[in-house]
Structure 1
Amino acid sequence: MRVLLYLPNKDVRELLGFQLSSQVKVILREMDSEEDAAGALRKDDAHKQAYEILAAANSEEAANKLSENAEAIDIAIVPGDRTDSVIFGHLKTRKHPVAVIFVYEKSPPDPSRVPGATVLGSVPIQEVVEGVVKLLKSSAEKAVEADGDSEYCPIRTTLLIKAIPLHSDIYIRLSKNKFVKLFHAGMKFTQDDMRKYYETKKVEYMYLRRNQMDEFVTNFRKELMDLVARPSATPAELQETAEVAFEAIHEMIHQLGFTKEIQEVAKAQVAVTLRAVGKNPKLQDLLDGLKAKGDYLARHSTVLAHVGCCIAKEMEWASEATFSKLVIAAMMHDMTLQNHELARINTLTELKERAGEFPPDLVKSYHLHPSKAADLVRSFEEIPADVDAIVLQHHERPGGAGFPRGLTNNYIAPLSAVFIVAHDLVQFMLDRAEKFQLGDFLAQRKTEYSQGNFRKVITALEKMMSAGGAS
């Protein structure tokens, strides 16, 4: 395991390095270059309980080493007093989580200030040797090496709390391929236990092994259905739960496949979304609570369900069957995509302009995702007819410039036209967030959507704007 050690006091840093070398089997090395350090790591791969320290003399050097070794550094030992330092700045924006031990003089830092870190603990400088050694030994005993992308499923902690009690091992992630077992199977822990851990450590995701997911899936579905049946559930609570549920379902499909059990969870998510939408959905209600942050695919899909139903209601298509089709299509249409930036792309022209940002295999997957998502829908048991057609056509355009089939207006189904405009509108909304104006969207898109069924959708949006349904 690779450890980054940076403490501004050279004497303390050298003392801690010496003690770690003798007590935790640390291999302390001063390297002239990152290439030498990487080579040494490869040679020491057999020392499974050994640590290697990358020493840094100042905050800037520590931040640079964290950045250059984003996936290689497992634990960072850094000062916790200066929240305005370069090292804190890096930890706030880091993409790959790193485990951190803070050493402080006056007071420990707030873990919520460093979302790019998994805080193992904070140690007062007076107890630096004993405290750090204890935390490192504990981490070494619990750490599990694995291919995280294939063996573990990430579950948002707020959702996992709702699925308690579980009789499964629960892990947190230290690095790309290292996990620490937080709760052992058979341990007696409650929702309050996990909630307290979440509130103090601010760990957004926890992990379950793929072969231990069945119990979570069962509890997850029950929690969703209980929420649907609860009279006191608010639209905001339902909408938030629908987003978190989408995120979990999306991950489970990619990890486990679209099994019958996960299909049942997906149906429960649809029920939550339909309850959130209600029988009389209003676009302004959605805009009032709209936030641009969060998991893009989850936010995009749940907002799309609401917007599609708002438009259908204005067109006097507000039947339960129509709302169900639009909500299921919204949930499934991008389910085969995993790259959030790629999912933001709406046209082939935009894809061509940004093709250099993505590997060729991802570009190909984008071209194919409407067809693959439609295939996924067809494997979905007991859903309304035509949902697969809506999903297949969601990137078509009335003038024939869309994909995958390049259909023109006359060959695009009426409900698909609603979904296509809603899909475009949601992208417009999320890109602008609080600056969104429905009139701006209509001014830019009215000409493109001036034919046949598309014209009816634009007319519905114009009625909504004139009635004050959105600014």
Structure 2
Amino acid sequence: MDSVLRGCGVMKVLVIDDESDICDIVSFYIEEYFKGEISFSLASGAPDAIEKIKHTQFDLILCDHNMPSGNGNLVQQYLLENRLDVKYVVCSSVEPCDLPELYNLEHVYFNILKPNIENGIIKLCSLLDLQKVNDIIEQEYIPIGINLLYLIRVMPSDIYISISSQKYLKCFHQGESFTDGDKQKYQNKEIFFLFAKVEGDKELFFKLINNTISQILTSKNKTIENKLLETHSQVSEIMKSYGFTPESIELAKVTINETAKILTKGDDEISKAWLRMTLFGSYPSKLFVLQSTLSSIIGKKLKWSTESTMQKIVMATFFQDLNLDSLELIKLVDYHDFLTKKHLFNLKECENYLSHPIRAKEMISKLKNVPADVDKIVLEQHELPHGDGFPRKLNSHQIFPLSALLILTGVISKTILNMPKANINFEILFNDLEERGYNKGNFKEIFHHTSTFFLQNK
């Protein structure tokens, strides 16, 4: 193997795709998973790529097949004709083995099948012996919401307050009580999470949190929006800080299943809850509450009212932005909004945003017993009716119906959260959405019921 490909010196990589977003995503994952210094070049088609190859000796080329200015096999043909020693990888929705008349399969080093780009890059790294070695350090401190501690009452372990990203100070001993006064004190200081140092029986600890989450969701003394806000903020914090462990995944599933049961209830109850929402709380929890309840209201009007369908909607809404760290990226209404504000973000943030639907899909695919179609819904979360969204540029007739529901309710929910409800002219909003194609294809019925709901309740 070439010395550069063993991690010595700079590895020169050429990424070829006619869609710049895909080039960015591939580059992002290579940078994420390859060790050593990397120099990237990007090309939009075969002619552009061949010009770059004439002037640079690349170590690795990742190339799409279908490109308007010239398909990927022309790049391989040029490499073979000029006897260039470079590892050639096909990164496309088609497989070179299906096109033996176009590709010399003996000289295709590897094939990455879209849209599973991340998994393909990881396997390629392993094949090249270039994968980063990351020590997995289990999170020592787990966040626990003030409302949760108030319900638990007797501390299951020592409880700490975070005074920096690496420093925690003990504020409760195991067995001490968490009182009304304690809850008020921390809320007044705008401290909404304390931390437990989990030692010993983690399964027992998470069982306690599970039971408390269920207690909140089945409470008769809390409004629907309060139930969902409290539980989502707690579970999403644990998922982000503790990672995808059997315990945290089980906690997420319990929350999603109980939320789906709540949202399957009568249409009037959920509609009244939505109309009275004060939208307090923080991103992304209030987005989850607004979007999942709105999806449930419109889903019922479309006769998509079974608990299994609601589970798909709730799970997709829960996981869609879980791998985005930036709240400002989560707040972006759609791809057009991103393009308008792209200058506000650095390259890493832009790549993170453009790749997150694919990463969300792959996150879902790693979970067991997930309802069918959830991975498809999160993958399509940023597609747009006119086919100018991402990552696959599907149009209103190609987008999956449940994805269309999530997309439209997401656009509306984020618009509302970015502006007080009282200041929104819903007639103007829906006229704008109509011009943008949300009344066509698989959006048509969803748009009709959504606009009717808003214009009747304005």
**TM-score between the two structures when normalised by the length of structure 1:** 0.61
- SS of match in other structure, 1:242: helix
- Which of 168, 191, 198 is residue 203 of structure 1 equivalent to? 191
- 1:220-255 CA deviation, whole Å, 9 max, x = no partner? 21112234445x344x1x422322222222222222
Opposite residue 374 of structure 2, the aligned amino acid is V
The aligned counterpart of 2:242 is: 256
- Aligned: 1:336 with 2:323: yes
Opposite residue 315 of structure 1, the aligned amino acid is L
Distance in 2 between residues matched to 1:199 and 1:248, nearest whole Å: 15
Matched residue pairs, number? 318
The aligned counterpart of 2:421 is: 434
What are the residue-to-residue correspondences of 1:63-462 with 2, within 5 Å?
A: 151-184=140-173, 186-192=174-180, 194-195=182-183, 197-198=185-186, 203-209=191-197, 215-230=204-219, 232-234=220-222, 236=223, 238-282=224-268, 284-435=271-422, 436-448=424-436, 449-462=438-451
The aligned counterpart of 1:31 is: none
Checking the alignment, whether the CA contact within 8 Å between 1:409 and 1:451 is kept in structure 2 is: yes
Deviation at 1:382, TM superposition (A): 2.1
- 1:92-134 CA deviation, whole Å, 9 max, x = no partner? xxxxxxxxxxxxxxxxxxxxxxxxxxxxxxxxxxxxxxxxxxx
Checking the alignment, whether the CA contact within 8 Å between 1:292 and 1:431 is kept in structure 2 is: no
Deviation at 1:420, TM superposition (A): 1.0
- 1:52-97 CA deviation, whole Å, 9 max, x = no partner? xxxxxxxxxxxxxxxxxxxxxxxxxxxxxxxxxxxxxxxxxxxxxx
Opposite residue 432 of structure 1, the aligned amino acid is M
- SS of match in other structure, 1:446: helix
Checking the alignment, whether the CA contact within 8 Å between 1:151 and 1:209 is kept in structure 2 is: yes
Checking the alignment, whether the CA contact within 8 Å between 1:217 and 1:265 is kept in structure 2 is: yes
Deviation at 1:188, TM superposition (A): 3.2
Opposite residue 331 of structure 2, the aligned amino acid is R
* Structure 2 stretches lacking a partner, 5+ long: 1-137
Deviation at 1:348, TM superposition (A): 2.9
Checking the alignment, whether the CA contact within 8 Å between 1:346 and 1:395 is kept in structure 2 is: no
Distance in 1 between residues matched to 2:284 and 2:190, nearest whole Å: 22
Distance in 2 between residues matched to 1:356 and 1:177, nearest whole Å: 32
- SS of match in other structure, 2:196: strand
Question: Using a 3 Å threshold, how does the CA distance of structure 1 residues 366 and 389 change in structure 2: closer, same or farther?
Answer: same
The aligned counterpart of 1:85 is: none
- 1:326-345 CA deviation, whole Å, 9 max, x = no partner? 11111111111121111011
Deviation at 1:390, TM superposition (A): 0.8
Distance in 2 between residues matched to 1:387 and 1:203, nearest whole Å: 34
Checking the alignment, whether the CA contact within 8 Å between 2:225 and 2:273 is kept in structure 1 is: no
CA RMSD between the two structures: 2.8
* Structure 1 stretches lacking a partner, 5+ long: 1-148
Question: Using a 3 Å threshold, how does the CA distance of structure 1 residues 437 and 197 change in structure 2: closer, same or farther?
Answer: same
Question: Using a 3 Å threshold, how does the CA distance of structure 1 residues 211 and 405 change in structure 2: closer, same or farther?
Answer: farther
- 1:302-342 CA deviation, whole Å, 9 max, x = no partner? 21111111111112222222222111111111111121111
Opposite residue 366 of structure 1, the aligned amino acid is Y
- SS of match in other structure, 1:336: coil
Higher relative contact order, chain-length normalized (CA < 8 Å, sep 6+): 2
Distance in 2 between residues matched to 1:364 and 1:401, nearest whole Å: 18
**TM-score between the two structures when normalised by the length of structure 2:** 0.63
Distance in 2 between residues matched to 1:201 and 1:409, nearest whole Å: 47
Deviation at 1:203, TM superposition (A): 3.3
Question: Using a 3 Å threshold, how does the CA distance of structure 1 residues 292 and 195 change in structure 2: closer, same or farther?
Answer: closer
Distance in 1 between residues matched to 2:267 and 2:177, nearest whole Å: 40
Distance in 2 between residues matched to 1:199 and 1:319, nearest whole Å: 38
% identical aligned pairs = 24
Checking the alignment, whether the CA contact within 8 Å between 1:169 and 1:183 is kept in structure 2 is: yes
